[in-house]
Amino acid sequence: MINITLPDKSIKSFENNPTGLDVAKSISEGFAQNCVAMEQDGTLVDLNRTITKDSRIKFITTRDKEALEILRHSAAHVMAEAVTFLYKDAKLTIGPVVKDGFYYDIDMEPVSEDDFPKIEAEIKKIIKAKKPFTRKEVSKSEALEFYKDEPYKLELISDLEDGTISFYTQGNFTDLCRGPHLPHTGLIKAIKLMKVSGAYWRADQTKAQLQRIYGTAFFNKKELNQYLHLLEEAKKRDHRKIGMALDLFSFHEEAAGMPFFHAKGMDIWNALLEYWRDEHKAAGYVETKTPIMLDRSLWEKSGHWENYRENMYTSVIDKTEYAIKPMNCPGGMLLYGIKPHSYKTLPVRAAEIGLVHRHELSGVLSGLFRVRAFHQDDAHIFMTPDQIENEILGVLKLVERIYKSFGLEFTLELSTRPEKSIGTDQQWERATNGLKGALDTYGKEYAINEGDGAFYGPKIDIHIQDALGRTWQCGTIQLDMALPERFDLSYIGKDNEKHRPIMIHRVIYGSVERFLGILIEHFAGKFPLWMAPTQAVLLPINDELLPAANEIKQMFEKAGLRVEVDGRTETLKKKVREAQINKIPLILTIGEKEKNSGTLSVRTLDGKVRFGIKHEEFLNTVLEHIRERKLDLEIFKD
RNA sequence: GCCGACGUAGCUCAGGUGGUAGAGCAGCUGAUUCGUAAUCAUCAGGCCAGCAGUUCGAGUCUGCUCGUCGGCUCCA
């Protein structure tokens, strides 16, 4: 007699040892069909495992998050079967589940995406056959014997404990695997191979080059199509494409990884920084600027020469060695050090839009997202220990204001002391508690990454979520216990003694370049009015109206708008079309009627047209919209 | 840096197996003067990323360099 306890605390009893599937079926046939695995006393196992003792069972259905991982893991096995069937010499290595699907690293002849249809056809056959996955536990010696011709598997097995090794078989294909798996291959309703790339065995360049085949799988076609649609949407929004199309920036061979900003790109840039300065001034920051090239001795003092040398550009002039700054902090330390400080004048909040250069590996460069020269919206805050909590709280509030103003949601992560670190236990405790205290007071949920902090202090990372639901780490607040020490910074306390200030580095945009790239994709190039490079374009209906359009342009420019006139002798249709494609928020048409009545017809990017808007009304509405940095594209409401 | 793919007009792309380059859009010029997503015609535009090599002959084949794109963290 076996008693099964279900999550709702109900108990089901069975005469003979049931499988998980039997239990699921006893609930209902329909329910059983949606089950992919189960948790037996908290351990994830196969649904077709026989239950031999009283257990707590929780079923994993296709709706659970774990189910997708199991599905994709099974899909990886199916792909491996297909590949080994088609390529007899292929040697399997590992095939894990990743964020958007799965991959399998295989030692085989190079394949390309052209080979996918062939492999996918084989995969479809395997799925159609509804082959059951069966688990077999084997001894280490059995496993080694089974894989005597598979060097990678032998290496994997040799790292495993005897008694913990299991094989999974579907049809004629067996793979070393911890499991669990789907009941059978037929449950993989939607699978697609995505791409191939090279990868090294154990990510080691000295080892064999493997073929990494990426795929993804879902429980139904609809979800797969949604995922593919998202990828397409992301592709359309690619900031590199939009940046080119809207004439915002470019890259040149003469300076790989270092963006050139065009006039229109600079309009956005300036709008971003103007906003940033407004917020920082209001939050009690001062703005500073330090040189981009500093003497080697400074980098030795800061520790960068020792730890960051391979990423730094250097130059020798007059026998003196300089390094171009990869970070702003050492310069910031010098600024703090130029005069004595008192506890009365702390905290010091010194911001700097610092241009930094880092020699990133050539293969990792990617548009504005990964560059070699970029601006950090840095700030160094120097404070007394009892100011930590309040200062961090202040940064968190500023972060919230700024991200919210772009319509970006965000999440927080606290990273604590890593194994390799400097400082005393007491220092770390005080610093970490300061960050925690601020986070708790702030009140938003946060995750904790134990041991993920920098060697010089704990940190809070801020992840933003864009309009497509993708996440990016931009902001970070790092407490630094090393640099004040290395630069011997101090302040005079109430006791008239010298004390070491606490220092944090923090960025909110992170890299201005990268943040701009994220915003391009977030807004799909349709920037809110206050950021848009060209805010309004005037379209005279015929050449006679061109002088009138130019007059209005001058008036609007005086009022502070970025306005253009499209004075070409083209049809209105064409000029409207191009203005729409260029994503200009306000498309203003001027014909005889408008000229005579001092009005405009206003078309916004949503395609709506409003006629007969007086110049004054237009300016009032638009200037207010800009002043308040509103996000909606529908600028005029009915 | 490593692996793979790619690099042709300002942009998007065609150019089997080698025989000194083509389209659409953009641009110029002309006609059209037009009411909310493409008016018509004409013209011009290229050291085929760069450097070597094979060849009578290279956009096409080979090697190298530069650049771009996708990977290189996810451990059966």
pLDDT tens string A351-365? 999 999 999 988 889
Residue A628 has pLDDT above 80, yes or no: yes
Q: What is the mean pLDDT of residues A407-431?
A: 89
Residue nearest to nucleotide B34 (CA to C1'): A571
Question: What's the ipTM?
Answer: 0.92
Give DSSP secondary structure letters for A372-426: SEEEEEEEEEEE-GGGHHHHHHHHHHHHHHHHHHTT-EEEEEEE---SS--S-HH
pLDDT averaged over chain A? 91
CA distances from A23 to A17, A42, A188, A193, A432 (A): 10, 16, 22, 35, 48
Cα–Cα distance, A584 to A517 (Å, whole number):
18
Q: How far is the CA of A526 from the C1' of B46 (A)?
A: 34
Q: Which residues of A are the active-site residues? A: 329, 358, 376, 378, 380, 459, 505
Condensed to tens digits (0 to 9), the pLDDT of residues A159-187 reads 888 878 889 998 888 898 887 898 889 88
Report residues 4-63 of A contacting strand B, contact meaning Cβ closer than 7 Å.
Answer: none
Residue A102 has pLDDT above 80, yes or no: yes
Residue A565 has pLDDT above 80, yes or no: yes
- The answer to whether strand B lies under 7 Å from the CB of residue A597 is no
Q: How far is the CA of A237 from the C1' of B21 (A)?
A: 33
Are A489 and A451 in contact by the 8 Å Cβ rule? The answer is: no
**Per-residue pLDDT, A504:** 94
Q: Which domains does chain A have, with CATH numbers?
A: 2-61 (3.10.20.30), 66-231 (3.30.980.10), 249-291+326-523 (3.30.930.10), 536-627 (3.40.50.800)
**Per-residue pLDDT, A48:** 84
Q: Does an H or E element contain A620, and which? A: helix A615-627
A92, two tokens: 């399997």
Q: Give alpha helix (H) positions in A466-614.
A: 483-486, 512-523, 546-558, 572-581, 592-597
**A543 backbone dihedrals φ, ψ, rounded to 5°:** -60, -30
Q: Does an H or E element contain A435, and which? A: helix A425-442
Are A187 and A168 in contact by the 8 Å Cβ rule? The answer is: no
**A35 backbone dihedrals φ, ψ, rounded to 5°:** -90, 140
Cα–Cα distance, A281 to A81 (Å, whole number):
62
The secondary structure of residue A253, as a DSSP letter, is G
Residue A337 pLDDT level (bands cut at 50, 70, 90): very high
Burial A366-376 (b: 16+ CB within 10 A, else e): ebbbbbbbbbb
Condensed to tens digits (0 to 9), the pLDDT of residues A246-283 reads 999 999 888 999 999 999 999 999 999 999 999 999 99
Q: What is the mean pLDDT of residues A77-106?
A: 88
Cα–Cα distance, A62 to A522 (Å, whole number):
31
For chain A, percent of residues with pLDDT exceeding 90: 56
Cα–Cα distance, A636 to A618 (Å, whole number):
9
Strand B positions closer than 7 A to protein CB: 1-5, 11-12, 27, 31-39, 66-76
Q: What is the mean pLDDT of residues A85-109?
A: 86
The secondary structure of residue A160, as a DSSP letter, is S
Cα–Cα distance, A400 to A256 (Å, whole number):
34
Residue A45 has pLDDT above 90, yes or no: no
Q: What is the mean pLDDT of residues A576-590?
A: 95
Are A56 and A40 in contact by the 8 Å Cβ rule? The answer is: yes
Bigger pLDDT: A101 or A562? A562
Residue A603 has pLDDT above 90, yes or no: yes
Three-point CA angle A405, A407, A413, nearest 5°: 95
Residue A593 has pLDDT above 90, yes or no: yes
Q: Which amino acid is at A319?
A: K
Q: What is the mean pLDDT of residues A23-47?
A: 86
Omega before A180 cis (within 30°)? yes
Q: How far is the CA of A256 from the C1' of B66 (A)?
A: 10
Cα–Cα distance, A131 to A174 (Å, whole number):
12
Beta strands in A148-208 (DSSP E): 165-170, 173-176, 190-200
**Per-residue pLDDT, A27:** 87
Q: Which residues contact A150 (CB under 8 A, 6 or more apart)?
A: A91, A92
**Per-residue pLDDT, A503:** 94
Residue A75 has pLDDT above 80, yes or no: yes
Q: Give alpha helix (H) positions in A37-183.
A: 65-86, 116-128, 140-146, 151-158
Residue A402 pLDDT level (bands cut at 50, 70, 90): very high
**Per-residue pLDDT, A313:** 92
Report residues 342-371 of A contacting strand B, contact meaning Cβ closer than 7 Å.
Answer: 361-367
How do beta strands A260-261 and A133-138 pair?
unpaired
Longest pairwise C-alpha distance within chain A: 96
Least confident piece of the model among A76-80, A96-100, A287-291: A96-100
Beta strands in A237-284 (DSSP E): 249-250, 260-261
